[in-house]
Amino acid sequence: MQWGHIKTLFILSFLLLDIYLLLQFIDKTKEADFGILDRQEASIEDQLQAENISINADLEMNNVTEETYILASQESFEEVEIAQLEGLKGQTSTVISNKFIVSQFDRPIAVDKDISQEGVNQLLVDKVLHYDAYTFWDWNKDLNIMIFFQKQGIRPVYFNENGILLVYLNSDNEMTHYTQTLLGEPKPQGGGTKALIPPIEAIEVLYNNNHLKPDDAITDVGIGYYSRFTSEVEQVFAPTWRVTVNEERNYFVNAMEGFVFSSNDMTFLQETVSDIMMKLHALNDENEVKEPFLNILQQMLETENRSEEE
């Protein structure tokens, strides 16, 4: 009889323990669910604040609410433009396939390492065809190349080989060459204007995709165009928010569909320089620009490759 009582007590004890553990598990699950709901209900501003991510850019300045995709193709330089190019003093220019300009300055042009954008403009405004069609983006010090994006209207077209001005400098920070392509007039695409996501939603996209880190600062926001589809003849460009983080990292968010475009200045430049070298190889060996410029580009890529290996 005593053994029967003891066995019953053991069974009841284990049953009570199982009930207790089950109740504890249910409580923990509820707490986790409430935590998820709290995070989902928190505004993006609250989520950024929780990770000390600040917005130092004036988002109200970008009050664009509707836009359209645009279609554009690479422009061919007309005979009149080629004549204007040949009339520019202090340089020797070549036009490849009527679409690609490569020019060599007769004398290198010194550039101060802390030069302002206005200073760059003053140096180049009378030396580059259609210079006003471009806007300065960055001076890549690793390859020593200044990048100028073409504008469509007042907005830059980000990282597109068919609408870009690149200025090459030597080790003494002197401009020696430049290359240039030009996009033609844009045409609206996609059946009219569509609503754009506001800048704060572009920032939220970056946050949700783990592009923003604790203590980061959103330092600038602007709008331009990024190539969405590419073909040999023409390209479709999407309105795109550019979000600058800590004054150094740039992200590009499709302003209609909300996805992030991949971009890397160095990768873009390396690929572009490689393409330019292929174009130069097609020139006649007697062309006085060909060999000096090819040597410069080859040296740039070799120096950068060594730096990456180290």
Per DSSP, the residues of 121-134 read HHHHTTTSTTGGGE
Please name the fold of domain 54-70+186-265.
Answer: Lipocalin (2.40.128)
The pLDDT assigned to 8 comes to 67
Whether the CB-CB separation of 96 and 283 falls below 8 Å is answered with: yes
Q: ∠ CA 9-13-14 to the nearest 5 degrees? A: 120
- Distance, CA of 73 to CA of 92 (rounded, Å): 27
Whether the CB-CB separation of 49 and 217 falls below 8 Å is answered with: no
Cβ neighbors of 117 (< 8 A, separation 6 or more) are: 136
- The pLDDT tens digits for 143-179 are 999 999 999 999 999 999 999 999 999 999 999 999 9
**Positions in the chain whose pLDDT score sits under 70:** 1-18, 20-41, 228-232, 306-310
Which residue type does 236 have? Answer: V
Q: ∠ CA 49-54-60 to the nearest 5 degrees? A: 110
- The pLDDT tens digits for 261-298 are 877 889 999 999 999 999 999 999 999 999 999 999 99
3-state secondary structure at position 308: helix
State the pTM of this model.
0.84
Cβ neighbors of 116 (< 8 A, separation 6 or more) are: none
Please name the fold of domain 75-183.
Answer: TATA-Binding Protein (3.30.310)
Tokens of 201: 């939603």
In the chain, ranges of CATH 3.30.310.160 domains? 75-183
> Residue 76 CA to chain centroid, in angstroms?
26
Whether the CB-CB separation of 63 and 228 falls below 8 Å is answered with: no
The pLDDT assigned to 17 comes to 61
Does an H or E element contain 67, and which?
strand 66-73
In the chain, ranges of CATH 2.40.128.690 domains? 54-70+186-265
The pLDDT assigned to 31 comes to 55
User: Tokens 């609410």, residue?
Assistant: 65
Q: Are strands 155-158 and 174-180 parallel, antiparallel or unpaired?
A: unpaired
